[in-house]
């Protein structure tokens, strides 16, 4: 299982995939927004994704955003 974590404090602007979706390395899972900048969160593995955040959430640096099995 691969974990995808937030690199910074941010708001979850958009969730682009649903739980159970098959994703591949390089897919954009979530778009974060911090300080008026959009930060795409990218899958670094292939597998089935579980999203741990919802649009509008605030994530802290290091928070879990998704897992890929």
Determine, following the binding rule CB under 8 A, whether residue 53 of this chain makes contact with other proteins.
no
Exactly one of 9, 16, 17, 64 binds other proteins (CB under 8 A); which one? 9
36 binds other proteins (CB under 8 A): yes
3-state helix, strand, coil in the chain (%, to 5): 0, 55, 45
The nearest distance, CB 41 to other proteins, in angstroms, is: 12
- Cα 16 from Cα 32, distance rounded (Å): 11
User: Is 8 an interacting residue with respect to other proteins (CB under 8 A)?
Assistant: yes
Distance of CA 63 to the CA centre of its chain: 10
Residues facing 48 on adjacent strands: 22
Which positions lie near other proteins, rule CB under 8 A? 7-11, 33-37, 39, 58
């Amino acid at each position: 299982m691969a974990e995808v974590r937030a690199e910074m404090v941010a708001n979850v602007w958009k969730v682009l995939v649903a739980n159970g979706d098959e994703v591949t390395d390089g897919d954009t899972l979530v778009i974060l927004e911090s300080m008026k900048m959009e930060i795409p969160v990218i899958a670094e593995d292939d597998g089935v994704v579980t999203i741990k955040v919802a649009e509008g959430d605030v994530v802290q640096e290091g928070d879990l955003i998704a897992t890929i099995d």
